[in-house]
Amino acid sequence: MMPLIAITSLQTPPLVTDAKLAALPAHPRLLATKAELEAAKRKPENKAFLDGLLARAETLSKKPVVLPERGGQWPHWYACKTHGARLKTESPTRHVCPVDGQVYTGWPYDDVPLLAEHNDWASALRDLGLAYQLSGERRYAQKAREILLAYAVKYPGYAYHDKDGKTGTGGGKVGPQTLDEAVWLIPMAQGADLVWETLSESERATLKTDLFFPAAEVIRKHKMGVHNIQCWKNSAVGLVALLYGDKALLAEAIDDPERGLQRQLREGITDDGPWYEGAWSYHFYTMSALAPLMEAGYHAGLPLYSGTLGERYKKLYLAAIRMALPGGQLPAFNDSNAATAMSNPLYETAFVRFQDPQLALPLTTSPRKTLPAFLAGAPPLPATASQTLPSEVFAAVGYAYLRAPGATLILKYGPHGGGHGHADKLNTVFFAGGKTLLDDPGTSVYGIPAHLGWYKTTLAHNTFVQAETNQAPATGRLLDFKTGTGWAAALADAGAAYEGTTLQRAAFLLGSDTAVFVDHAEQKAPGLLDLAIHPSFEPKSWLMQPGDVQSLPDKPGYRYLQAAKQTSSFSSYTDSSGFALSLVPLTTPTRYVIATGMGKSSEDRVPILLARTVEKSARWVWAIAPRGTTLTARTRGEEVLVEVNTPGKRSWQLRVTATTLDVK
């Protein structure tokens, strides 16, 4: 029998070999090769981008190179503690909240803009290098060289620091995290590569010993597994390796069995295609992290776009198309804000490398005047018919997608999503009538209390909350999934979200504008249970509903609710959008709380309805549907039977058991 280690190495043979290193193409070879740049330059449709680039290089070539005296700080600090709003930089020591004018000064605020300055110098270097290659103007290369040598002087003296001002592993010199160091180092290496031919041997050696290898070392000594940050680090280290033709460094970036590019592609990209962290912001962030090394490796002759590695990588791009809401937006699940593949310039590169017409869709909304479009040559796009995506289950990430023309309902039941996950099993997003009617508020910058206090809490989501506490990280199960003419439905449970409690949701999309939910909770013992519903309705009118002023506990999520009222009855509320929220309690007594929670910021108030009970067993049937829709529901043994009627439309009979559902 073969030892395990041999099996592992068979699965991931090293791509970096002596033969590949011996056959590296001439510089430039990281961002683009000379041949690619020549071809890009000749394309008439690239003229606007080229003119813009040369104008920028002309300005930069006259700018004195004065690098910051120290490294920068964490951008997540740069928000008002009260409002979560991003601060405005009025001077190097004056950082102002745009909502209330509060002034922040000193550490860490003064240092955050310095990180942006470092990144600006890195982009300037890359742009000057590109402009030199495309125009042959030596003064652009001269300025690029000046930036590089200035960093070689400054970099050794920058203090190693992290976001809390300490010196533990994971910090950096230019930025407070190895992530920041890597994000900065990538365009630095690309820029050096573009002007390589103008640098002397001794300058290359100085840059190696005083800048590129020490920066790679800062990044390398912080070791992570499969993670978006490790992808940035691999790209930075891999680009430095390819800049100097260093085999050991390149092998580490690509073939390291714990954290190399190969493992990131094989294990970080789920079978459904989304990056495993489950947040679309990180999905696109990881795409940006992987792309520089994919391209540089491709130029170096590594077969990254072919075989199983290439298939995995392509899935990453296809997923963001297949899992979009109508119009292309992706749900703001986990630590993500609204995100979309539409117009994302990385699809330019993916489209030319894979030649798959599906990958062209996001480019149809792009003006295609980006660097990736320029380098890829902005080839003509195939005619893409706008087609309705099917209802389907993404089992690896745990989303059931119910779809109709112009409508999508998503039931989220899958894995937690690691450190960026939210405790939101059975959370639901519903889009119909041109807008999101049930939404996830997404996330905030991480430096403010609302991140943990609201956005990551269970209460902030359209799901169950037991005893006013967050669900535990859990993985639920899909119990049933069916589609028929004009409808789709899914039934899922919440796994071990609350120890000893069973939570189930049956979700139905009927026609293209009606969402019906049959929710069921079986608690271990009688106790407080809330069903939280966040309809994206107009908040002022929502709060006009009658009720007694209610104070809510100082607990995660609950402390962010405002204008709370309690009432003993709720049956239906119609919003000015024409959509109504209806609820039929099959459990009595049910009390209700009407309030607002937070949307994209503390100022963005979103209605919330809490249905509350203390019964051991609770069932509620509710719907978001056009005005006038009536909902009747009853139990028959363990079954729930629901009838849905909308004036002028067909009626629906729904049946839900503990393991199945059906529609007639």
Query: Measured from the CB of residue 266, what is the shortest distance to Zn ion in angstroms?
Result: 28
Q: Which stretch binds Zn ion (CB under 5 A): 74-82, 152-160, 468-476, 621-629?
A: 74-82
Query: Measured from the CB of residue 107, what is the shortest distance to Zn ion in angstroms?
Result: 19
Q: What is the DSSP string of 583-614?
A: EEESSSS-EEEEEEEESSSTT-EEEEEEEEE-
How far apart, in whole angstroms, are the C-alpha atoms of residue 333 and residue 353? 30
Nearer to Zn ion, 190 or 471 (CB): 471
| Runs of H (alpha helix) within 368-413 | 371-376
Closest CA to 11 of 267, 315, 316: 267
Q: Which stretch binds Zn ion (CB under 5 A): 121-129, 225-233, 254-262, 433-441?
A: 433-441
Contacts of 452 (CB under 8 A, 6+ apart): 556
Query: Measured from the CB of residue 457, what is the shortest distance to Zn ion in angstroms?
Result: 9
Nearer to Zn ion, 296 or 330 (CB): 330
Applying CB under 5 A, among 57, 97, 371, 606 the residue interacting with Zn ion is: 97
Nearer to Zn ion, 348 or 440 (CB): 440
Query: Measured from the CB of residue 104, what is the shortest distance to Zn ion in angstroms?
Result: 9
407-426: contacts with Zn ion (CB under 5 A): 422
Nearer to Zn ion, 241 or 423 (CB): 423
Contacts of 177 (CB under 8 A, 6+ apart): 74, 162, 163, 170, 171, 229
Nearer to Zn ion, 314 or 412 (CB): 412
Q: Which stretch binds Zn ion (CB under 5 A): 100-108, 143-151, 516-524, 590-598?
A: 100-108
**Binding mask of the shown chain, residues 437 to 476, with x at each position contacting Zn ion by CB under 5 A:** ---x------------------------------------
Query: Hey, what's the torsion of the CAs at 12, 213, 132, 60, to 10 degrees?
Result: 120
Q: Say if residues 37 and 133 touch (Cβ distance below 8 Å).
A: yes
Question: In Å, what is the CA distance from 585 to each residue of 216, 531, 592, 621, 639?
Answer: 60, 11, 11, 6, 15
Nearer to Zn ion, 83 or 233 (CB): 83
Nearer to Zn ion, 61 or 470 (CB): 470
233-252: contacts with Zn ion (CB under 5 A): none
Q: How many residues contact Zn ion, by CB under 5 A? A: 9
Question: In Å, what is the CA distance from 297 to each residue of 63, 186, 245, 304, 500?
Answer: 33, 14, 12, 7, 50
Nearer to Zn ion, 102 or 617 (CB): 102
Q: Say if residues 489 and 382 touch (Cβ distance below 8 Å).
A: no
Applying CB under 5 A, among 50, 99, 224, 396 the residue interacting with Zn ion is: 99
With residue 8 as reference, give the H or E element that holds it. Answer: helix 4-11
77-96: contacts with Zn ion (CB under 5 A): 80, 82-83
For residue 105 the two structure tokens come to 């000064």
The single residue listed with the structure tokens 């109709």 is 404
* DSSP E strands, 405-543: 407-412, 427-432, 435-438, 464-466, 477-484, 487-493, 502-510, 514-522, 529-533
Greatest C-alpha distance within the chain? 84
Query: Measured from the CB of residue 520, what is the shortest distance to Zn ion in angstroms?
Result: 22
Query: Measured from the CB of residue 330, what is the shortest distance to Zn ion in angstroms?
Result: 13
Query: Measured from the CB of residue 86, what is the shortest distance to Zn ion in angstroms?
Result: 10
Nearer to Zn ion, 295 or 440 (CB): 440
Other residues' Cβ atoms within 10 Å of the Cβ of residue 277 = 24
Query: Measured from the CB of residue 98, what is the shortest distance to Zn ion in angstroms?
Result: 8
Query: Measured from the CB of residue 534, what is the shortest distance to Zn ion in angstroms?
Result: 11
Residues that bind Zn ion (CB under 5 A): 80, 82-83, 97, 99-100, 102, 422, 440
